[in-house]
Amino acid sequence: MSGEKTCNQCGVIVSLELKNIWPSNWKGSRYDCIDCAKAKESIRRQTKEWKDYHSSYGKKHYVDNKDRYAENTKAYRDSPEGKAVRNNLGRQRKMKQKKATTNWIGDNMIAKVYRKAQEFGLAVDHIIPLDHKLVCGLHTWNNLQLLSASENSKKYNNFVADW
Ligand SMILES: [Zn+2]
């Protein structure tokens, strides 16, 4: 394929060797340059007819080829790539579950500690203070202890580092 042609739309001269002609216009005397063809095509794809045709075509194609779709899906799932994707999804799900469970147990325990404190008229104390210049304790159930109100006020934030 060699030579030059002039675009019907914009008059630009296109070299056939550069293959910058819309594929369907390679043969024949009427052709558009690739830019004009693309512009035309994108306008055509905005029409309701085109959209309807393509969505119904996709659905019909799926119904007609259900087995093939299923086979392809299965083949992908069994491929090393598909397996890796699936494993990763499973790992993510497990991690999320673990996180949620840990938080749930933790919150439950904290609630229990506070309930007991109320029951016995004691104060809930953070063994390692949350707000201290040396350390930063966590608001987790295993960093809580019950103290009497007077003990608690004595201890108040006087964390002694013994290491
Ligand atoms: Zn053109």
pLDDT tens track for 71-100: 999 999 899 999 999 889 888 888 877 776
Domain count, the chain: 1
Q: State in Å: Cα 14 to ligand 1 middle.
A: 8
Q: Using one digit for the tens of pLDDT, what is the confidence trace for 43-72?
A: 888 888 888 888 888 888 888 999 998 999
Q: Is residue 146 part of a domain?
A: no
- Domain boundaries, position 22: 1-46
Q: Is residue 25 part of a domain?
A: yes
Q: State in Å: Cα 32 to ligand 1 middle.
A: 5
Q: Is residue 29 part of a domain?
A: yes
Q: Is residue 91 part of a domain?
A: no
Q: Is the pTM of this model over 0.75?
A: no
Q: State in Å: Cα 44 to ligand 1 middle.
A: 16
CA distance 99 to 107: 12
Q: State in Å: Cα 23 to ligand 1 middle.
A: 14
- Going by their DSSP bridges, the two strands 4-6 and 123-126 should be labelled as unpaired
Q: Is 35 left (phi over 0), alpha (psi -120 to 50) or beta?
A: alpha
